[in-house]
Structure 1
C-alpha cells in the first residue's frame, strides 16, 4: 500500500542516501514526526526556552510549541505533550509526544539545536 505522506529523509541537515546513492524516503508516521521536528526547530522557540530564566515565560513558550504542533492537520488536537527534563544544570531535554490521526503516537527527544525521534 502506498504511503499517504512521504518526504525525503534528512539526517544532520543533509539528505540521507541509500547504498545506491539515491535519497531515502520517509513515509507516514515518520514523515509527520520529521516535519514537526523541523517546524519546532525553525520556530526558534526551543532556543528561547533554554535561554530564558523566567519560569513563566518558559512555560508560555512550551504552550506555544504544543499549540503549534496541535495545529498540524495530521495531529489529533489536544494530544501534544512536551515534558522538560533537566539532565544537568546546563542541559535540558524536551520529550514531545502527540497522537496522529491515522498512524498512532509519535514521540521524540528535542534539544535546543536538534530533535531525534524515539524508537
Structure 2
C-alpha cells in the first residue's frame, strides 16, 4: 500500500458499520483525487451547462490536460468518454496500480 485516504462520496465522508470512516487505498485514492480536482476546477459544471459542441470539446481537452498533470498516471493514457446520455467517464493507467476508471458525471437512465 502506497496511498491511503478516507472515502468521500457525494461530498460526504463514508462510514462503515461501526461508524468509523471508510479507508481507501492506492488506485481508489488516485481516482478520488482526480475526480475531486475535476470537480473543484468547475470544468464538470461547465461541461454540463455547455450546449456548443466545439466549446464542449474545448472543456473536454481542459479536463484531459488537468488529469494528465497527475504524476501517478502514465502520460498519454488518459481517455475521456462522454456517451450521449451526458455522463462523463475518465480512463487512464496508473504507474503502479494498473488501469483506473471512474465517472465524474453520471446520468442515470430512468
Q: Which residue of 1 aligns with 2:100?
A: 106
Q: 1:52 maps to which residue?
A: 50
Task: Please report how far the alpha carbon of residue 45 of structure 1 lies from its aligned counterpart in structure 2 after TM superposition.
Answer: 0.7
Three-state SS of the structure 2 residue aligned to 1:85 is coil
Which residue number in structure 2 is paired with residue 95 of structure 1? 89
CA distance, structure 1, for counterparts of residue 102 and residue 2 of structure 2:
21
C-alpha distance in 1 between matches for 2:57 and 2:9: 29
| TM-fit CA distance, 1:27 | 0.3
RMSD: 1.2
Worse-superposed segment, 13-22 or 101-110:
13-22
Aligned length: 106
Q: Which runs of 5+ in 1 are unaligned?
A: none
2-structure distance, mates of 1:55, 1:82: 15
Q: How far did 1:37 drift?
A: 0.9
Segment of structure 1 superposing worse, 12-21 or 61-70: 12-21
Measured in 2, the distance between the counterparts of 1:57 and 1:12 equals 27
Match status 1:86 vs 2:80: no
Distance in 2, matches of 1:50 and 1:20, equals 37
State TM-score, norm by structure 2. 0.89
What residue ranges of structure 2 are gaps of 5+ in the alignment? none
- Corresponding residue for 1:64? 62
Q: Which runs of 4+ in 1 moved over 2 A?
A: none
What residue in structure 1 maps to residue 4 of structure 2?
6
